[in-house]
Amino acid sequence: MEERVGELWHRLITRAAQSRYPEAAVTLQQVNTRVGILFRALGGDGGLQVEAAHATEHSARRSWLHRIAGDNKKVELAWRDEQSLWLPAVIDLFSTPQLNRDLYRWLVVLSVGEPLQDEPWFSRNQRLTCRVLELYPSIRPLYQRLVSAHLAQRLQPPSHQSAEVAQEYAIRQALLEPGTIQDLPQAPRPPQPVPLWLHPCPPVSLSRQQNRDNPESSGGSNALDTETKRLAEETDKKETKGRGLVTIRMENIFTWGGFLKLDRDAEENEDLESAADAAEDLDLITISRDARGSAGKLRFDLDLPAAAEDDLVLHEGILLPEWDFKKRQLIPDLCRVVPMLAADAGSSGLPPHLYRTAKKLRAQFQYLAPSRKWYKGQQDGSEIDLDAYLRFASDRIAGLASTDNGLYRQLKLGSRDLACLLLADLSLSTDTWVDNHARVIDVIRDSLFLFSESLSATGDAFAIYGFSSRKRDPVRFHQIKQFDEHYNGAVRGRIQAIKPGYYTRMGAAIRHSTSILKQQQSERRLLMILSDGKPNDLDKYEGRYGIEDTREAVREARAEGLEPFCVTIDSRANDYLPHLFGSTGYVVIRKPSELPRELPRLYAKLTS
């Protein structure tokens, strides 16, 4: 009976405290493509990915119904950092889907502007709002609708709390007339969240040094100070050195989940999923400045094969630069590319299951082969050029000065002045299964076979290389076919011998491929990159750093007169490839199993 009454009471009070409109909710997944296009069209950083923001506690005053129901403690706000544009996963603040959708649009437009360094939250959002309304006057009616709907929902503090009343008045005035209020008045508790503004203190952008050395950097915003204290409390391991594990207060006993190593350079194999789960259970995340690794760990690196089992290293390696997007400069000699050759690859034939497809493709690609044609105006040839001879004879009869140069024509074979380098991603991710019959590496292997069979029918010069990496040294660059090699059993044996490698340091591989391809004297030089995912590696190459380095490598290739083009089977490629290769510089193969047939056909379209 008590449980039944409790359920009814919980349902009643939760329904009474409901201040959202789930029936009018709009999800980020529904508008993800649109907001991404809008952000980049207005000049937003193309390297940022649109991600769903997680809710954070606001510690602001709540209504008595919310306090009884125990909800409305967290809020999803928008923010941006060096890696992503974070937007609420769901917006259901308003009673109509159109208003919720408009809030997504407003937050995206607001996020385009760059915040100034150490700019207070209160003045920053007013400045960004003024900028948007000045640059895009047509968005003012949308903003006014959002402000009116939001102000009607804001909780008015009690009249006897004069500090909170003054704070709430300042926020309302800043929303109605942005730029008119300079400072946010202080109050004992932080103000209510403002979903029309960016987050006062994004969890991912906390700076430990800034918080310690400059505690006033929040610009007097009490909300920012409270949020910072909630998210992270700094400590020093030196203060606890020598003390026992158990002290007087039993609450001081920490669990293993309380110590999460954040320095990936020092701890590469940290279980991030377990760390995230542990962090969710913690009320307080303690950040330490101690750079020492955790003791008592025995680590094995099972990725590296024995030297006797590894591929043949052709020479000690080539040093290449890498682009640091934060410093906006190339760091010289940062990566070492090591050319390698499959040691156990013998001569091989075409796999039987590809016979029929290869025969069909060879027949189709023979039409791309240059045809024989007559070359006129030749000094010598198989036939007399009658048109040239008649002009020559007429000029002599008319007494005009004439020469007998070029009175012959010759039937010659034409030529396609084109060279292509195919660069295949051989990272660990290619070891995943496409279906019940083949892995990604098997699909790539079949693609290389059919690509080679097709291009050998056209006579075009082509080379094939594969790459993988383990940090910046070494970047393994597998030689499969060079430009001066004929497509034969030895090349087929190297294709048969490819296997999943390590990670995807794509920028270094593209730079080395550029140096190889630009040595070809062909009129057109095509650099095709075959990949199954975005650039990544064990170190800081993961995320924005790798994206920007790859983009710079593609730009360098275009500056050398090459034509980079990416073929991928990554279903999320549209989120980052337009930033890397441009809107027309890539294609996504929706069904990976179709890649072997589609790759040669795509080449034919690019070079026809």
pLDDT band per the 50, 70, 90 thresholds, residue 319: very high
Does residue 110 contact residue 41 with C-beta atoms inside 8 Å?
no
Smallest CA-to-CA distance from 578 within 28, 31, 114, 49 is with 49
Does residue 454 contact residue 362 with C-beta atoms inside 8 Å?
yes
The secondary structure element, H or E, covering residue 204 is none
Which residues constitute the domain of residue 571? 318-366+416-607
Burial of 14 (C-beta count, 10 Å sphere; 0-12/13-18/19+): middle
Indicate whether 268 pLDDT > 70: no
pLDDT at 388: 82
Q: What is the CATH number of the domain that holds 567?
A: 3.40.50.410
pLDDT at 80: 87
Q: In whole angstroms, what is the distance from residue 207 CA to residue 115 CA?
A: 15
Report yes or no on 406 lying in a domain: yes
Burial of 484 (C-beta count, 10 Å sphere; 0-12/13-18/19+): exposed
pLDDT at 389: 79
Domain count, the chain: 4
Does residue 184 contact residue 122 with C-beta atoms inside 8 Å?
yes
Burial readout 362-394 (b: 16 or more C-beta within 10 A, e: otherwise): beebeebeeeeeeeeebeebeeebeebeeebee
Indicate whether 421 pLDDT > 60: yes
Q: In whole angstroms, what is the distance from residue 214 CA to residue 448 CA?
A: 57
Q: Are residues 478 and 343 both part of a single domain?
A: yes
Q: Are residues 263 and 191 both part of a single domain?
A: no
Give the largest Cα separation in the chain, rounded. 125
435: which 2 tokens? 């279906």
Report yes or no on 302 lying in a domain: no
Final residue of a domain: which of 231, 247, 265? 231
**What does the pLDDT look like over 290-310, one tens digit per residue?**
544 444 444 444 455 555 567
Mean pLDDT, the chain, rounded, equals: 80
Final residue of a domain: which of 231, 246, 266? 231
Indicate whether 54 pLDDT > 90: no
550: which 2 tokens? 């790859």
Indicate whether 168 pLDDT > 50: yes
Output DSSP code: residue 317: -
DSSP bridge partners of 378? 408
Residues with Cβ within 8 Å of 102's Cβ and at least 6 positions away in sequence, in order, are 142, 145, 146
Does residue 376 contact residue 406 with C-beta atoms inside 8 Å?
yes
Start-end of H helices in 136-207: 140-151, 162-176
Q: Are residues 176 and 260 both part of a single domain?
A: no
Q: Are residues 88 and 171 both part of a single domain?
A: yes
541: which 2 tokens? 């190459």
Query: Phi then psi for 483, rounded to 5 degrees?
Result: -65, -35
Does residue 174 contact residue 185 with C-beta atoms inside 8 Å?
no
pLDDT at 369: 67
Report yes or no on 465 lying in a domain: yes
Does residue 423 contact residue 529 with C-beta atoms inside 8 Å?
yes
pLDDT band per the 50, 70, 90 thresholds, residue 288: low
Distance of CA 346 to the CA centre of its chain: 38
Does residue 261 contact residue 297 with C-beta atoms inside 8 Å?
no
The highest-confidence range among 7-16, 186-195, 434-443, 505-514, by mean pLDDT, is 505-514
Q: In whole angstroms, what is the distance from residue 364 CA to residue 457 CA?
A: 9
The secondary structure element, H or E, covering residue 487 is none
Report yes or no on 518 lying in a domain: yes
Report yes or no on 408 lying in a domain: yes
Q: Which region among 407-421, 503-517, 594-608 has the lowest average model confidence (pLDDT)?
A: 407-421
Q: In whole angstroms, what is the distance from residue 520 CA to residue 111 CA?
A: 45
Indicate whether 5 pLDDT > 80: no
pLDDT at 372: 58
The residue length of the chain stands at 608
Q: In whole angstroms, what is the distance from residue 554 CA to residue 51 CA?
A: 25
Q: DSSP labels for 403-453?
A: --TT-EEEEEE----EEEEEEEE--GGGGSBSSSS-BHHHHHHHHHHHHHH
Show the beta-strand stretches assigned E in 19-95: 26-27, 49-53, 56-57, 74-75, 79-80, 84-88, 90-91
213: which 2 tokens? 């050395």
Tell me the CB-side half-sphere exposure of residue 289, using CA atoms within 13 A: 11
**What does the pLDDT look like over 176-234, one tens digit per residue?**
999 898 889 888 888 889 999 998 888 754 433 333 444 333 333 444 443 333 344 44
- 209, 210, 285, 355, 472 from 213: Cα distances, Å: 6, 5, 19, 69, 34
Smallest CA-to-CA distance from 486 within 455, 465, 442 is with 455
pLDDT at 261: 53
Smallest CA-to-CA distance from 77 within 192, 213, 161 is with 192
285: which 2 tokens? 């995340």
pLDDT at 295: 44
Q: Are residues 597 and 546 both part of a single domain?
A: yes
Report yes or no on 309 lying in a domain: no
Residues with Cβ within 8 Å of 285's Cβ and at least 6 positions away in sequence, in order, are 231, 232, 233, 260, 279
Q: 100 or 400: which carries more pLDDT confidence?
A: 100
Smallest CA-to-CA distance from 539 within 267, 219, 212 is with 267
Indicate whether 45 pLDDT > 60: yes
Query: Which is it for the CA torsion 75, 270, 320, 528, positive or negative?
Result: negative
pLDDT at 331: 93
pLDDT at 291: 47
Q: Are residues 179 and 226 both part of a single domain?
A: yes
Indicate whether 370 pLDDT > 80: no
pLDDT at 262: 54
**What does the pLDDT look like over 85-124, one tens digit per residue?**
899 999 998 999 999 999 999 999 999 977 666 788 899 9
Q: Are residues 36 and 128 both part of a single domain?
A: yes
Q: Are residues 343 and 385 both part of a single domain?
A: no
Residues with Cβ within 8 Å of 247's Cβ and at least 6 positions away in sequence, in order, are none
pLDDT at 117: 65
Q: Are residues 409 and 422 both part of a single domain?
A: no
pLDDT band per the 50, 70, 90 thresholds, residue 469: very high
44: which 2 tokens? 């937003």
Q: Provide the 10 A C-beta neighbour count for residue 404.
A: 11
CA angle 137, 142, 145 (to 5 degrees): 130
Indicate whether 608 pLDDT > 60: yes
Indicate whether 281 pLDDT > 70: no
Final residue of a domain: which of 413, 442, 476? 413
**What does the pLDDT look like over 520-561, one tens digit per residue?**
988 899 999 999 888 999 888 988 899 999 999 999 999 999
pLDDT at 249: 42
Across the chain, how many H-helices and E-strands are there? 19, 21
Query: Phi then psi for 173, rounded to 5 degrees?
Result: -65, -40
Q: Are residues 210 and 109 both part of a single domain?
A: yes
Report yes or no on 39 lying in a domain: yes
Q: In whole angstroms, what is the distance from residue 462 CA to residue 517 CA?
A: 9
Q: Are residues 426 and 382 both part of a single domain?
A: no
Q: In whole angstroms, what is the distance from residue 253 CA to residue 243 CA?
A: 12
Burial readout 136-169 (b: 16 or more C-beta within 10 A, e: otherwise): eeebeebbebbbebbeeeeeebeeeeeebbebbe
Q: Are residues 398 and 344 both part of a single domain?
A: no
pLDDT at 16: 63
CA-based R_g, the chain, Å = 32
Report yes or no on 403 lying in a domain: yes
